Amino acid sequence: MGLPLVRDENSVRWLTLNRPDVLNALTLEDLTALREAVLGIGPEVRAIVVTGAGDRAFSSGMHVATFADLTPTTSRHVIDEVGACLGAIRLAPVPTVAMINGYCLGAAFELALACDVRVAHAEVRFGLPEVKLGIPSVVEAALLPHYVGLSKAKEMILTGDLYAASDLPPGLVNRLAPRTQLREVTETLLRSLTMPTREVIAAQKSLFETWLNCGLEESIATSKDVFAHMWDSPATAAAVARYQSGRRV
């Protein structure tokens, strides 16, 4: 038990948070290992899944010891490390999936928000309890209103309370599955996520960033540029040809 486990299986990189004795609480070393595992994928990797070891927690977030004796300088280092890790996951050029098997709290909840899609069972508990420690929720918590709406996001962040997956708006969890079928449902979703070309997935994900950060006119203009540039890749013409061939059959 310790640093996240990294395993490549059927073109998918599985990252398992691996401190089940402390509900997979994260350390700065874990964040570095996760970031390197995401940034280090080769062309053979078509998707990334993050999950937690054991059956109690995806992760309880940053280990509380991380916050002991921080100063303005050292706290900035900590949050920069959190941001670098979660940013690498959000900007990965392949689909990213959080397979959430238990408590999903704090920075780990932000990690799940940074992923493209989330699979969970109904008993999973989500929360951003930082406010109860006198610490604001930051970084990828900024995405929460997009998933649950501004009113619910304010409630979750300002109370720091925990919420069952089944009690939250449907936009947060893409697939709710029985606990025993979590892996099966995740793998079914992965088959759909890895069917398009790697090139178009990377392009589409870059557009999501544009749509989140820019106005409508710039988003449309950028979308047109991305569409045109896709034809620089032989994979695009090949995918169109395969689709046409399949339809004729």
Q: Are 50 and 6 in contact (CB under 8 A)?
A: no
Indicate if the pLDDT at residue 59 is higher than 50: yes
Question: What amino acid occupies position 240?
Answer: V
Question: What amino acid occupies position 83?
Answer: G
Phi, psi of 2 (to 5 degrees): 165, -120
The residue with tokens 């988003």 is 219
The mean pLDDT of 36-43, rounded to a whole number, is 97
What is the pLDDT confidence band of residue 246, given thresholds at 50, 70 and 90?
confident
pLDDT tens per residue, range 155-186: 999 999 999 998 899 899 999 999 999 999 99
Of 83, 108, 90, the C-alpha closest to 4 is 108
The residues carrying an active-site annotation are: 110, 130
pTM of the model: 0.94
Indicate if the pLDDT at residue 136 is higher than 60: yes
The pLDDT value given to residue 85 = 98
Supply the mean pLDDT for the chain: 95
What is the pLDDT confidence band of residue 154, given thresholds at 50, 70 and 90?
very high
pLDDT tens per residue, range 204-216: 999 999 999 999 9
The pLDDT value given to residue 248 = 44
The pLDDT value given to residue 242 = 85
The pLDDT value given to residue 145 = 97
CA 196 – CA 194 distance, rounded (Å): 6
What is the pLDDT confidence band of residue 137, given thresholds at 50, 70 and 90?
very high
CA 53 – CA 93 distance, rounded (Å): 25
| Structure tokens, 11 | 């073109």
Percent of the chain at pLDDT above 70?
99
Of 58, 60, 69, the C-alpha closest to 16 is 58
The pLDDT value given to residue 233 = 86
Indicate if the pLDDT at residue 87 is higher than 90: yes
Percent of the chain at pLDDT above 90?
89
The pLDDT value given to residue 36 = 98
The mean pLDDT of 55-73, rounded to a whole number, is 94
